[in-house]
Amino acid sequence: MIAVPPLFSPIPPAIHPRYAAIEAHTTAWAEAHRIGSAELRQRLVRHEIGAFASRVIPLGCEEVVQTLADFVLWLFGLDDGVCEESSLGQRPGDLSGALHRLLRVAQAPEAPLWLDDPLANGLRDLRRRIDRWGTASQAARWVGCLREYAFSVVWEASHRSANTVPDLEDYTLMRLYDGATTVVFPLLEMAHGYELPQQERDHRAVRAAEEMASFVITWDNDIFSDHKERAGEGYYLNVLRVLEAEGLSHDKAMTAAIAQRDRVLCAFVRLVDHLAEVGSPQLRQYVGGLKSFVRGSQDWGISSIRYTTPDDPAGLPMVFSDTPTDDRPEPLGIDAIAWWWDVLPPAALPAGTLLPTQQPR
């Protein structure tokens, strides 16, 4: 076991005060909807998914936090139960069909489709609650995000079926979607009862901020879940495995992955702080939501027994660090995401730097 050092996080932690009630309701929801096999469900309800949602949305409407918690449990029912642990996950074509049927339920919850399928029924319930708390366009965006998640897990399944590991370029692209981060974004708005103006939603700087959040959240997941994933029986895929396949030792892969997420996290904070200054009040709230999503995932990632695995301890850190291991302001050298650095505001001058007109004579 190689211990994970404390990772850099400049974002303060927070948790919704109703987290215990939310946790209990999510357990009851999973039982009522029979999400996953009895064995998987028994594992999932111990992973503090209610606390996770409560950290992601610490100040929002309780019903939306509850919807997020139930949705994340549902996502693990799908990602663990269908994509990673079932034979469907080895058959990308068939998996694609199964996901298309689920997407139809999300899109047309009123149609009596697949009424004997627990995942379909759970998704139907989630869609009804999204309609209740969100606008029509937020619900449509949620379905669209679910579709991009589905598309990327089919790509992952093709690597699983061939027992291959993608290169870093392909993996980065896949991971922007297969960590199910984009499906959470519409709930960040719904929890606070606002809608981002269309021009801002589609602005490339806002898209860059969302993608940077996805990158940090999934790289952090890869680092914290590596122990659990490596110890599992089947195929696994995370950034450490990708970097090891490119020739790095486990140690060097860990250092490299941490440096990558540190650099993106530095860029993310610089970008969202700038957007909060120049954007609408809604955008200011939205980037606050992205920050809470990043920090909430970090706090849950180091504490949930899903990752700490007490019977075979993962050696995860108990705290976060104030200093990045790498804060270089240049792109990472991954072509698909190099454009993120084009939308960054100019780097702040280091404290104490004199402007040219202030030079002492």
Among 9, 27, 214, 221, which residue sits at the site for Mg ion (rule: CB under 5 A)?
A: 221
Which residue, judged by CB position, is nearest to ligand 3E9 in the bound state? 225
- For ligand 3E9, the closer of residues 320 and 341 by Cβ is 320
The nearest distance, CB 237 to Mg ion, in angstroms, is 8
Q: Is-contact 76 83, C-beta < 8 A?
A: no
Angle formed at CA 172 by CA 166 and CA 176, multiple of 5 degrees? 125
**Residue keyed to tokens 């998704």:** 123
CB atoms under 10 Å from CB of 351, counted, come to 5
Rounded to an integer, what distance in angstroms lies between the CA atom of residue 43 and that of residue 36?
Answer: 10
* Crossing angle of the two packed helices 204-231 and 250-278, in degrees rounded to 10: 150
Name which of ligand 3E9, Mg ion, none residue 217 binds, using a CB cut-off of 5 to 8 Å depending on partner kind.
ligand 3E9
User: Beta-carbon neighbour count of residue 145 at 10 Å?
Assistant: 18
Tokens of 113: 């489709």
Q: How far is the CB of 285 from Mg ion (least distance, A)?
A: 18
> Is there binding between residue 79 and Mg ion (CB under 5 A)?
yes
**Residues that bind ligand 3E9 in the complex, under the rule CB under 6 A:** 72, 75-76, 79, 179-181, 184, 217-218, 221, 225, 297, 306
Treating both helix axes as pointing N-terminal to C-terminal, what angle do 250-278 and 281-303 enclose, rounded to 10 degrees? 160
Amino acid at 172: T
CB closest to Mg ion, residue no: 225
Nearer to Mg ion, 182 or 225 (CB): 225
Q: Is 67 in the site for Mg ion (CB under 5 A)?
A: no
For 8, list phi and psi in degrees, rounded to 5: -65, 130
Binder of residue 218, out of Mg ion, ligand 3E9, none (CB less than 5 to 8 A by kind)? ligand 3E9
Which residue number, 221 or 304, has a Cβ lying nearer to Mg ion? 221
* Coil, strand or helix at 111: coil
Q: What is the closest distance, in whole angstroms, from the C-beta atom of residue 350 to ligand 3E9 in the complex? A: 34
Are residues 31 and 41 in contact, defined by beta-carbon separation less than 8 angstroms?
Answer: yes
What is the rounded distance in angstroms from the CA atom of residue 338 to the CA atom of residue 336? Answer: 6
Of 239 and 287, nearer to Mg ion (C-beta) is 239
- Taking the complex as a whole, the smallest distance from the CB of residue 359 to Mg ion amounts, in Å, to 51
Shortest distance (Å) from residue 111 CB to ligand 3E9: 25
Stretch that binds Mg ion, among 10-18, 79-87, 160-168, 182-190 (CB under 5 A): 79-87
Backbone angles phi, psi at 309, to 5 degrees: 35, 75
Pick one of ligand 3E9, Mg ion, none as the site partner of residue 105 (Cβ within 5 to 8 A by kind).
Answer: none
In the DSSP assignment, the letter for residue 159 is: H
Q: Shortest approach of ligand 3E9 to residue 330 CB, angstroms? A: 26
* CA separation, residue 257 to residues 97, 108, 151, 190, 278 (Å): 34, 40, 25, 33, 32
Rounded to a whole number of angstroms, the minimum distance from the CB of residue 58 to ligand 3E9 is 15
State the minimum distance, in angstroms, from the CB of residue 328 to ligand 3E9: 25
49 binds, among Mg ion, ligand 3E9, none (CB under 5 to 8 A by kind): none
Q: Which is nearer to ligand 3E9, 180 or 265 (CB)?
A: 180
Judge whether 7 and 223 are in contact, CB under 8 Å: yes
Q: Which of residues 174-193 bind Mg ion (CB under 5 A)?
A: none
Report the residue number, 79 or 262, with the smaller CB distance to ligand 3E9.
Answer: 79
292 touches which of ligand 3E9, Mg ion, none (CB within 5 to 8 A by kind)?
Answer: none
At CB < 8 A and 24+ separation, what contacts does 197-206 make?
A: 197/280, 197/282, 197/283, 200/279, 200/280, 200/282, 200/283, 200/286, 204/339, 204/343, 205/271, 205/275, 205/343, 206/275, 206/283, 206/286
Of 67, 214, 225, 298, which one interacts with Mg ion (CB under 5 A)?
A: 225
Shortest reach from residue 296's CB to ligand 3E9, in Å = 9
Residues in 266-305 at the binding interface with Mg ion, rule: CB under 5 A: none
- Per CB under 5 A, residues contacting Mg ion are 79, 221, 225
